[in-house]
Amino acid sequence: MWVFDVTPLIYLAKVDQLTLISHLDEPCVIPDRVYTEVVDTGIEQGYPDARRIEQSVEDDMLSVISVDDDEFFSRIQRNPKLSDADVAVLACADTHDGVAVMDETYGRDIASTEEITTRGTAYLVLYLASQNVISVEKARTVIDAMVEEGWYCSPNMYAKIVQKIDLFSE
């Protein structure tokens, strides 16, 4: 199970590439708290990417899942540096032995401490290119478009991503 956090959804939606997740081999879910943050709040604030995410749920590409307030949830929720959405993603991934799809370093560090597997948005794009689901040209276009839309990627990380994309074309 792929459990999506806010940032990957927003940036894939901004560049109109949410359909990429339909090619993943496991179910793709959004914790209800993430849905509230990206769709309900996003629509209220007039973000077009929120409508794209809502449509992906309506098209059954993504499923909204509730997250129990269990002991793990309660424990990590006490961390003031994690948003409610981050807590829900980590708790859902922990409960369902899923992969937390998140880009923020702090959340990924907490996941590592808790032995929860994480992957980022760039990983998904690279994975699909490595499986020949999308072309290397499309992978590069998606990454560049996300950066243009404000997706944060350090220059060093961007260079590594481009290098991996280039390896796929050899």
Domain ranges, ordered by start, for the chain: 2-121
Task: Note the pLDDT of residue 43.
Answer: 96
For the segment(s) 2-121, the CATH number from 3.20.20.370, 3.90.550.10, 3.40.50.1010, 1.10.3300.10 is 3.40.50.1010
Q: What is the pLDDT of residues 38-81, one digit of tens each?
A: 999 999 999 999 999 999 999 999 999 999 888 999 999 999 99
Task: Note the pLDDT of residue 11.
Answer: 97
Q: How many residues does the chain have?
A: 170
Answer yes or no: is pLDDT of 151 > 80. yes
Global confidence as pTM: 0.93
pLDDT bracket for residue 169 (50, 70, 90)? confident
